[in-house]
Structure 1
Amino acid sequence: MSPIVTPVILSGGSGTRLWPLSRTGRPKQLLSLTSADTMLQLTAKRTGGAGFAQPLVVANAAHADMIERQLQQAGISDMRLILEPVGRNTAPAIAAAALALDRDALMLVMPSDHVIDDVEAFRQAVAIAVPLVADGWLATLGITPDQPETGYGYIKRGAELAPGVARIDRFVEKPDRDTASAYLAEGGYSWNGGIFLFGAGAYLDALERYAPEILSAVRTSMENARHEGSRIFPDPHAFAASPSQAVDYAVMEKTDKAAVVPVEMGWSDVGSWDALHAISVRDEGDNAHHGEVVAIDTKGCLIRSEGPLVAAVGVKDLIVIATPDAVLILPRGSSQDVKRAIQALEKDGHVTLHRAMESATAPIGG
């Protein structure tokens, strides 16, 4: 009988790259962008049924009510929430989850805001990793690259450890385009998608060895945590004392027991409006649109309205996102430049960075 796997869903991100739809008050994981379900609900549903325990969610305390409501709507009533008093990146967040579980628990750590089209391939990859993880290895799912992407870190695969699982030779920082093209031509590389599977005890032992200051701070915060029903509130002073590090840097790049399962599963981190256009249903003009939109002689556009009518005539390759209080317009292919708008708004302390958009509940192309 296979061990039970506990889904650990990381839901602390602010998702500002999808402004003005995603706000700190309602980040992208709490929005319905690609289906009727929100990103969080899709993530939780991937690990429902036999072989999986109820999820443990690590999140921003400000989103607790929305997270509980959405998971209940998805049929999950027995979740637990660890509510971070301050963001300290993924290594401390995962440490808090590990300390809330038994040492022999297997943790499947997942971002809450990714798209996976082939859920069966995802579940098979998890199953392939379980035997090694039960033996003390720290595993990650390596996304099979389909283009020379410069926005992701890469994993160089080493020797095969078991069918479908390889030792990690090294992690590679986000490359330039020529280097990424060389990786694809060479083969043996995966994208680092930020999905991990390891034992709670094995992870805590690795932290003790490679990042003891993180473990010490988070352990103190959990020992002094406040509990309210299913909600766990780590001690804010102790948690804030933890260094802010990603699990990749704190543990995975340092351990000699890191493994990768290469998988093709229709994955996207939906990290930009361009990425959403690429995975959305599009019309014959390569347009993806949602809401009250009139598009005439348009081509290659992503147009979404959460209220006002948007009429686009004779334009091409634009991103147009309209909400009741903000409109974003920029060329398709330049969606990373949203950060320039964010910087300008931060300078003025503009309310549209934070005010939640309750109407953002339907997918583009739906």
Structure 2
Amino acid sequence: MTQKIVPVIMAGGRGTRLWPLSRAAAPKQFIQFIGDKTLFQETLQRVSDPALYDAPVVLTNEEFRFLVAEQARELDIDLAAILLEPVARNTAAAVAAAAAIVGKRFDGDTIMHVLGSDYEIVADDTYFDCVRIAAATAAQGKLVTFGIQPTEPATGYGYIEGGETLATGARTVARFIEKPPLNKAEDMVATGGFYWNSGMFMFSVSCLLDELRTHAPETIRAADEAVENAKTDLDFIRLDKAAFSAAPNISIDYAIMEKTSNAAVVPSPFKWSDLGSWDSVWKSGSRDEYGNVAAGNTTVVNTKNSLIMTHGVHLAVQGMDDIAVIASEDAVYVGRLQDSQDVGNLVKMLAAAPKTSQLTETHPTSYRPWGGYTSVLNGDRFQVKRIFVTPGKKLSLQKHHHRSEHWIVVKGTAEVTIGENVQMLRENESVYIPLGEVHRLANPGKIMLELIEVQTGSYLGEDDIIRIVDEFGRS
């Protein structure tokens, strides 16, 4: 195969099933679980072979746009486009919009590989063999899905029954099956020829658009209009909100895959997990001789078959079995691994209570296009933050109506603008920003700038920022 494939990566999903690490504003695709890369970054790496793939198109939303750009930059991977969905409309409208963009930049014969950014996949030779089979099948006019070879009678996935074997090695799709009860799942796994629905697809632009026009005309009409009226903002393409909002809220499976007569499935025996629960994280991890998966600063004694992970405090676990102990910067979850599918219900309880709702939304550390900050201490009329600024980046020129700020540099060099005055601050030096004064912080150096910010005032919310000049288009 000589034609390159255009990857289309879905990175806008929200989820809290892996709480407390995953939260509404920091979903699992952007988090490091085990290893030094996020799931989104691992997805980017899987489509980074220039002999096989063109630059990827990423679909995400306004809130995650800088996370996408920064995590791609960390890997030095160029993106063809970042499409911003103005509202959530499931996968059908998103894929249709991506197809419209790809079709304009290339042509209708271009093969798209649609994949989520929150799977755990072992990208070995078996995986890439499946990719090549899928591409060859898609080039023959089929709409291809990847069917994962089941390793157990899982009830959390939809299934696909394979039909006739095609010349490429793929199979026709006999039928799609909704998430089954346990007895039905056991029968399908025992019978063979049934596969988990992975949510990964491959098809040519023209075949996809033809099927959408036939089976989902409202979706393709809304997507076309959203692309036609889209606005370019820095490195982002903002789909038109009014048009995109008119699209039905349906999945690509429901819109066309379950209706078309051209569906094919590639039997895929590579290792795959959607990491939908802490139990699945444990299953996909590297277990020690006692069946434990541990990550971060942990001490594990007389414990077996457990998952111990921390992004904050040191965790010491003793005398446990079948337990998940997960620590973030500000919360700890403890529960049996076999009950981890119920974490979503726990999160709903936390979200419903005013005292704990914030724990389901954001982390103490928030990332921005220039770096980020960690909330260290909050009190009555004061707040302490750790600010970190990437080399060469600068915050917006801004002012506040309700607070003043004290900055103390602890690492690196800061260029500080206050009114008409510009000064350089080095380690252990500090400065005061009066209430209402126009100011700016920049890192002109070669290493990360870190400082402690003490805010005092009657209101300390993030919405008390009046941006005057901003290189990230937020003013």
- Aligned-partner Cα distance in 1 for 2:76–2:16: 28
Partner of 1:192: 197
Deviations 1:30-71 (A, max 9, x none): 112232111111111111220210000001221111111111
SS at 2:197 equivalent: strand
Partners of 2:28 and 2:39 within 8 A in 1: yes
SS at 1:92 equivalent: helix
Larger Rg, first or second structure (1 or 2)? 2
- Aligned-partner Cα distance in 1 for 2:193–2:10: 28
Deviations 1:274-333 (A, max 9, x none): 000111122222111122222222122111122122222222211111112111111111
SS at 1:140 equivalent: strand
Deviations 1:74-133 (A, max 9, x none): 221243100111111111110110010122221000000111114322221121122331
Q: Percent identity?
A: 39
Q: In the alignment, does 2:227 pair up with 1:231?
A: no
Deviations 1:124-174 (A, max 9, x none): 112112233123210011111111111111000011121411100000011
Partner of 1:173: 178
Partner of 2:78: 77
TM-score (norm 1): 0.94
Partners of 2:34 and 2:295 within 8 A in 1: no
- Aligned-partner Cα distance in 2 for 1:279–1:143: 15
2:317 to 312, 316, 322: 312
Letter paired with 1:236: K
Letter paired with 2:188: Y
Partners of 2:120 and 2:284 within 8 A in 1: no
- Aligned-partner Cα distance in 1 for 2:226–2:109: 21
Q: In the alignment, does 2:48 pair up with 1:48?
A: yes
Letter paired with 2:117: S
- Aligned-partner Cα distance in 1 for 2:296–2:134: 42
- Aligned-partner Cα distance in 2 for 1:57–1:32: 19
Partner of 2:363: 356
Letter paired with 1:29: Q
2:152 to 147, 150, 159: 147
- Aligned-partner Cα distance in 2 for 1:352–1:26: 11
Partner of 1:203: 208
TM-score (norm 2): 0.73
More helix, by proportion: 1
- Aligned-partner Cα distance in 1 for 2:326–2:248: 36
Letter paired with 1:40: F
User: Counterparts of 1:6-85 in structure 2 under 5 Å?
Assistant: 6-49=6-49, 50-85=51-86
Partners of 2:17 and 2:343 within 8 A in 1: yes
Partners of 1:150 and 1:180 within 8 A in 2: yes
- Aligned-partner Cα distance in 1 for 2:48–2:163: 32
Partner of 2:339: 334
Partner of 1:124: 129
More strand, by proportion: 2
SS at 1:333 equivalent: helix
Partners of 2:118 and 2:275 within 8 A in 1: yes
For these two proteins, the number of residue pairs brought into alignment is 360
Partner of 2:225: 220
Unaligned runs of 5+ in 2: 368-475
- Aligned-partner Cα distance in 2 for 1:220–1:260: 31
Partners of 1:79 and 1:230 within 8 A in 2: no
SS at 1:18 equivalent: coil
Bigger relative contact order (CA 8 A; separation at least 6): 1
Measured after TM superposition, the shift of residue 358 of structure 1 is 4.5
- Aligned-partner Cα distance in 1 for 2:145–2:199: 7
- Aligned-partner Cα distance in 2 for 1:224–1:309: 51
